[in-house]
Amino acid sequence: MINVALFGAGRIGAVHGRTIADSTQARLVYVSDPIAEAAGALGKSFGAETATADAVLSDAEIEAVIIASSTDTHADLIEAAARAGKAVFCEKPIHLDAARARESVKIVEAAGVPLAIGFNRRFDPHFAAFKQRLEAGAIGELELLSITSRDPKPPPLSYIRVSGGLFRDMMIHDFDLARWFLGEEPVEVFAYGSCLFDPSAKDAGDVDTAIVNLRTESGRLCQISNSRRAVYGYDQRLEAHGSRGMLRAENPRPTVLERSGEDGVVTDRMMDFFLVRYADSYRIELEHFFEGIAGGEVRNPTGDDGLRALLLADAATESRESGRAVAVTAP
Amino acid sequence: MINVALFGAGRIGAVHGRTIADSTQARLVYVSDPIAEAAGALGKSFGAETATADAVLSDAEIEAVIIASSTDTHADLIEAAARAGKAVFCEKPIHLDAARARESVKIVEAAGVPLAIGFNRRFDPHFAAFKQRLEAGAIGELELLSITSRDPKPPPLSYIRVSGGLFRDMMIHDFDLARWFLGEEPVEVFAYGSCLFDPSAKDAGDVDTAIVNLRTESGRLCQISNSRRAVYGYDQRLEAHGSRGMLRAENPRPTVLERSGEDGVVTDRMMDFFLVRYADSYRIELEHFFEGIAGGEVRNPTGDDGLRALLLADAATESRESGRAVAVTAP
Amino acid sequence: MINVALFGAGRIGAVHGRTIADSTQARLVYVSDPIAEAAGALGKSFGAETATADAVLSDAEIEAVIIASSTDTHADLIEAAARAGKAVFCEKPIHLDAARARESVKIVEAAGVPLAIGFNRRFDPHFAAFKQRLEAGAIGELELLSITSRDPKPPPLSYIRVSGGLFRDMMIHDFDLARWFLGEEPVEVFAYGSCLFDPSAKDAGDVDTAIVNLRTESGRLCQISNSRRAVYGYDQRLEAHGSRGMLRAENPRPTVLERSGEDGVVTDRMMDFFLVRYADSYRIELEHFFEGIAGGEVRNPTGDDGLRALLLADAATESRESGRAVAVTAP
Amino acid sequence: MINVALFGAGRIGAVHGRTIADSTQARLVYVSDPIAEAAGALGKSFGAETATADAVLSDAEIEAVIIASSTDTHADLIEAAARAGKAVFCEKPIHLDAARARESVKIVEAAGVPLAIGFNRRFDPHFAAFKQRLEAGAIGELELLSITSRDPKPPPLSYIRVSGGLFRDMMIHDFDLARWFLGEEPVEVFAYGSCLFDPSAKDAGDVDTAIVNLRTESGRLCQISNSRRAVYGYDQRLEAHGSRGMLRAENPRPTVLERSGEDGVVTDRMMDFFLVRYADSYRIELEHFFEGIAGGEVRNPTGDDGLRALLLADAATESRESGRAVAVTAP
């Protein structure tokens, strides 16, 4: 059993806490959160203690930490945990500033501990099967990839303000998937973004709708589209074209029911949002992390993956502002 | 926490044992099986003791028993457990002989304990939603119901010999669903059955393919088709027609992937078999049983439901042999 | 060019008239109808003359007749046309009385002219492909066939009264398809029928909803369901199961559009009714008839096919009334 | 009846010739083609004479001309026909050089004759329904449009060399659809293109795969993807997102059949190519043109539409070469 501490007692902290509590591989020892009450409530529900970050990191019994706290704390916690010799799992992003993220990755490397980044979508069973079939040659050589990702509704202005913008906050997941599926690093990015419905996005200088193109060295192409609103639910789709065909991942739905009436043939809305749609992947990524620790090699998305997705988001942000394609910076 | 004993350490016993072990409502105290080794192994994996049926039933701490042993032991265990004042959950059927099943139900009633029958499909989230939408009037007044149920491949001859035949062993689940969805008791049954591919079915005097029609007092009609073989996987579908439209439940599939190639557009096979397809429903039915015990009213399918489904299977068996529609016997 | 006369200037007559007028194989010479005005209007629109049946049949230039008049005139016209040496295409049924239909078939055989029956569904491109794939072994040996056929709404009482009842009027198409797909003659029929929504059906002693089972000598099974009402449009589906899989024909739809909104994912209603759904097959069956005449061998469904489908309808009617499976009479 | 002359006796000429020959609105008088043999054969099959372009245009009986000749003849024929006072229908593009196309449009305007451009996809029943539902508000305010268009296989090098490149030859149809559906003019274009599989495209300095982004003044966004190869058939899809939902047009398929086997659930390949997929739209666009002439107002896509689509293709071509977003030139 791996002794684990959880930083962050918010929505994602609760999800990870449940996974650890149910896991046969790990034991939740501490929940740590600046809001002591939240830490206490969550800790209690899983039979874990509360402690300050310092106390957690100086407890030699703790082998791994899960960082699900607010974005601005990620880099500090990653670095401190790495220096304390803990295996680290951290929600994306490492930091909104790429330089600082790069610094954190270096510190982790120097410390020789594993760093896993919470790109949970790679662990979604449908997307994992997508990757597996691409690699098995189901459509031959990959040529073109399309990713669609739409949230049901926009976040509040307060969130947008600290989010780093749509490209760093939302599309970063798609950048990670794009790199993973393309099997090559994108070398250039072009982005369009618009404010079409969300006044908060406009107030924050952000966009609510965006389309992005990526190009790899060998000429593989990728289209990504994001919107902060989809009245029909959480929309997450993939489409890949290759020399031998097309592979698509449509949205899973709550039920397989289909009603035919005067109004046509009606099936279910998409699932509500990421906590439902990706419930399995949140669990699987953490179990995978624990297996990696136990087996001596963590194979989750790495700090380098986290940094590279951020650099793609930075390039997209710059492209959207400049109206030009932007070369991707080396990590 | 409800103290529970499990009878039967076979395939279904293992499924139920896992559910009890994971449940926050119940505690698995005993596993009992004539094959001591099997009971021991399963008990050990869930931290439960082994004991004889007598010992289990005389332990006053045991509040509920789960009967997942071989069919020929069901009635004896139900009756003994009822007399010992335990709440009983039993896999279908109560007994292959309706008279004995009727006797067991009477004994349970006299004992005043709840008896739940493992018609797990009612708890499948898709089928439960189907029922809920029918009741919500999604298609108005129900007129016609079609149920398709096909196993991936036939069971061995040894199993068929003691199974009571396709209608009592396999279609009994569809009879239960038919009663549940129709909202009225079928009064008459007509059945055709054929031996088209399975020599074992022929040897055992059974059929491997069957189609059955039901009629209710008010004239609602129902079609059921069963086959012991479907090379494309486990096929479980529903279709209901009413005054305002049609409601269908197609098969859930392992993934939402779709590949387009020279050979056409290809999606996944159906799921493999019932343990995978109905994994959720096995868990939910037992949690529902425990909730019922805790709340003072068990609302799972009852002994009467078990008996009525068996009587439909008996009528179908008789109809298949006689070539006539057969009136359904009163329970 | 084959000189053709058309009997019947009603709805189906107009459909056939259009096909002949557009055909490069045939020329519409006469339209004949007891209602002179109807014949005149239709004839005018296609540049054809009007004439009495006698005049038409004594015109030696006429090589083929298309009978689309009312059901009670079919047998008389078939026989007279056969005696006059014309090739005959007749809408189903030959006659509602099987004895008279048998007599007509004999007269046609004696006359040595081709008789084609308007079982147009065999010429629907989807159903023709279904047949072709069955024969190509797409699902191996056929074991079980299901046919669903639902009209959008019931016909008027006046029509039901002279229709011969649901089994002879509506399900007769499905009996023909069943024979065609099964590749074997059904030897026994069982039928349930109910009056669930249409007072006219009840007044006429007919049913509005029916389910029928067929069995062939070798044990192949077939389910048919019919309803006189489907609020979501005209519903025509096939499903066949064999040793190597399942083949389904779902309903074609007006468009390939799919809308996702707050209410779910919505696609088009089914097509409205048979004139739209089977527009192609009405045209193809007639062109096929003309090709057959030109080539010296008409391969459309024959008088024997017409008679056998009627005998299945008779058996179903009797079964519905008697509550027993009924053996199919030899043609 | 409108007297019509057809220029071009090739593949598309034959399609249009058939439509005119079958039309009740028009009469095919002449077929004109530099290859006299081709003109003769096609003319003969439709009962039309052959004549030189000059002879055709000086025949005062000719009211309309259909230009389906090679691309390099379009502008000359448009201008000559306009000067002769004929209504003109011309296949895209007017000319590969925008300046010359602009000149042609001006000459047509000065002549006061209608000019219709063969953007036939607007007349595809599925796409026309798509447009109609967008306008009816099915998804509220349009925000994002995605168009996928993939040919089954690349054209020969000889064709690519004179085609003007993928953006002007193939994507021009999608640019027209984009303008039509967006309901606003794109003001800027960004394009990526790659040579991934077709050596001929590389030889000709063209691309075989391309993704393009459009942006309108109000910020509506559009993604287009094109490939010269799709082994699964001709792939033509639309997807629009708006304030109230998503509207998609998937590919129509040859049949509604679905086979389930050991390999999964398999439906038909896409249709083969444009002559089959757009058979209806070729016919409808021409009938629409004739109706417009008869009614005094031709409402087909105009010369201005032809010019604007070409300017989008030019901008895409320039963007692909420069790596920058390119502002769309005024027509």
- pLDDT given at position B253: 96
Give the mean pLDDT of chain A: 97
Q: Which chains touch C (3 or more CB pairs under 8 A)?
A: A, B, D
Q: D144, A244: Cβ pair inside 8 Å?
A: no
How many other CB atoms are there within 10 angstroms of residue B136's CB atom?
8
Q: Which chains touch A (3 or more CB pairs under 8 A)?
A: B, C, D
User: From the CA of B18, how many Å to the nearest CA of chain A?
Assistant: 13
- Comparing CB atoms, the residue among D233, D263, D270 nearest residue B266 is D263
User: In the structure, how many helices (H) and strands (E) does chain B have?
Assistant: 13, 15
- Comparing CB atoms, the residue among A150, A223, A231 nearest residue D211 is A223
Smallest CA–CA distance from C245 into chain B, residue:
B231
User: From the CA of B230, how many Å to the nearest CA of chain D?
Assistant: 8
| pLDDT, tens digit (0-9, with 9 covering 90-100), for A264-315 | 999 999 999 999 999 999 999 999 999 999 999 999 999 999 999 999 999 9
**Chain A residues whose beta carbon lies within 8 Å of the beta carbon of residue D222:** 211
Residue D88 and residue D113 in contact, taking contact as beta carbons nearer than 8 Å? yes
Q: C258, D245: Cβ pair inside 8 Å?
A: no
Residue B326 and residue B318 in contact, taking contact as beta carbons nearer than 8 Å? yes
- Comparing CB atoms, the residue among D231, D235, D265 nearest residue B261 is D231
- Over residues A128-144, mean pLDDT: 98
Q: Which chains touch D (3 or more CB pairs under 8 A)?
A: A, B, C
- pLDDT given at position A250: 98
**Chain D residues whose beta carbon lies within 8 Å of the beta carbon of residue B230:** 260
**Chain B residues whose beta carbon lies within 8 Å of the beta carbon of residue C225:** 144, 146, 221, 223
In a mutational test of the B interface, the residue from D232, D253, D270 whose CB has the highest number of chain B CBs within 10 Å is D232
- Comparing CB atoms, the residue among B232, B265, B267 nearest residue D262 is B232
| Integer Cα distance of A237 and C277 in angstroms | 34
Q: C143, B221: Cβ pair inside 8 Å?
A: no
- pLDDT given at position D148: 98
Q: B261, A139: Cβ pair inside 8 Å?
A: yes
| Integer Cα distance of D323 and D171 in angstroms | 18
- Comparing CB atoms, the residue among B231, B253, B264 nearest residue D266 is B264
- Comparing CB atoms, the residue among C129, C244, C245 nearest residue D257 is C129
Q: C210, B194: Cβ pair inside 8 Å?
A: no
- pLDDT given at position B110: 98
Residue A172 and residue A310 in contact, taking contact as beta carbons nearer than 8 Å? yes
Q: How many CB pairs under 8 A join B and D?
A: 48
Alpha-carbon distance values, D301 to B211, D122, D177 (Å): 57, 8, 11
In a mutational test of the C interface, the residue from D259, D271, D280 whose CB has the highest number of chain C CBs within 10 Å is D259
Q: B231, D269: Cβ pair inside 8 Å?
A: no
All residues at 6 or more sequence positions from D322 whose CB lies less than 8 Å from its CB, including other chains: none
| pLDDT, tens digit (0-9, with 9 covering 90-100), for A145-184 | 999 999 999 999 999 999 999 999 999 999 999 999 999 9
| pLDDT, tens digit (0-9, with 9 covering 90-100), for A13-51 | 999 999 999 999 999 999 999 999 999 999 999 999 999
Q: D213, A196: Cβ pair inside 8 Å?
A: no
- pLDDT given at position C58: 97
Sheet containing B115-117: give its strands across.
Answer: B49-50, B26-32, B2-7, B64-67, B87-90, B115-117
- Comparing CB atoms, the residue among A139, A254, A260 nearest residue B246 is A260
- pLDDT given at position B91: 97
Q: C259, D138: Cβ pair inside 8 Å?
A: yes
Which tokens go with A320? 């959207």
**Chain B residues whose beta carbon lies within 8 Å of the beta carbon of residue C194:** 143, 215, 219-221
Smallest CA–CA distance from B244 into chain A, residue:
A261
Residue C214 and residue C178 in contact, taking contact as beta carbons nearer than 8 Å? yes
Smallest CA-to-CA distance from C224 within C215, A154, D27 is with C215
**Chain A residues whose beta carbon lies within 8 Å of the beta carbon of residue D188:** 323
Smallest CA–CA distance from C268 into chain A, residue:
A264
- pLDDT given at position B60: 97
In a mutational test of the B interface, the residue from C142, C174, C198, C213 whose CB has the highest number of chain B CBs within 10 Å is C213
Residue D7 and residue D32 in contact, taking contact as beta carbons nearer than 8 Å? yes
Chain B residues bordering chain C (beta-carbon distance below 8 Å): 141, 143-144, 146, 150, 188, 190, 192, 194-197, 209-211, 213, 215, 219-223, 225, 227, 229-232, 235, 241, 243-246, 323-325
**Chain C residues whose beta carbon lies within 8 Å of the beta carbon of residue A235:** 260
| Integer Cα distance of B129 and B122 in angstroms | 10
- pLDDT given at position D64: 98
Regions of chain D short of the pLDDT cut 70: none
Q: C221, B197: Cβ pair inside 8 Å?
A: no
User: From the CA of A197, how many Å to the nearest CA of chain C?
Assistant: 17
**Chain D residues whose beta carbon lies within 8 Å of the beta carbon of residue A144:** 209, 211, 225, 227
Q: A268, C264: Cβ pair inside 8 Å?
A: yes
A238 phi and psi, to 5 degrees?
-130, 150
Smallest CA-to-CA distance from A274 within A169, A172, A152, A180 is with A152
Chain C residues bordering chain A (beta-carbon distance below 8 Å): 230-233, 235, 253, 260-270
Smallest CA–CA distance from D150 into chain A, residue:
A241
| Integer Cα distance of C314 and C298 in angstroms | 27
| Integer Cα distance of D206 and D313 in angstroms | 13
| Integer Cα distance of B324 and B316 in angstroms | 10
Residue B52 and residue B80 in contact, taking contact as beta carbons nearer than 8 Å? no
Sheet containing A26-32: give its strands across.
Answer: A49-50, A26-32, A2-7, A64-67, A87-90, A115-117
**Chain D residues whose beta carbon lies within 8 Å of the beta carbon of residue A197:** 141, 143, 243
Cα A211–chain centre separation: 19
Which tokens go with C161? 């009264």
- Comparing CB atoms, the residue among B232, B262, B265 nearest residue D261 is B232
> pLDDT tens digits, chain B, 331 residues: what are they?
999 999 999 999 999 999 999 999 999 999 999 999 999 999 999 999 999 999 999 999 999 999 999 999 999 999 999 999 999 999 999 999 999 999 999 999 999 999 999 999 999 999 999 999 999 999 999 999 999 999 999 999 999 999 999 999 999 999 999 999 999 999 999 999 999 999 999 999 999 999 999 999 999 999 999 999 999 999 999 999 999 999 999 999 999 999 999 999 999 999 999 999 999 999 999 999 999 999 999 999 999 999 999 999 999 999 999 999 999 999 9
Smallest CA–CA distance from C198 into chain B, residue:
B243
Smallest CA-to-CA distance from D84 within D106, D105, D112 is with D112
**Chain C residues whose beta carbon lies within 8 Å of the beta carbon of residue A263:** 266, 269
What angle do the packed helices D36-46 and D11-22 form, to 10 degrees? 20
Smallest CA-to-CA distance from B236 within B191, B193, B274 is with B274
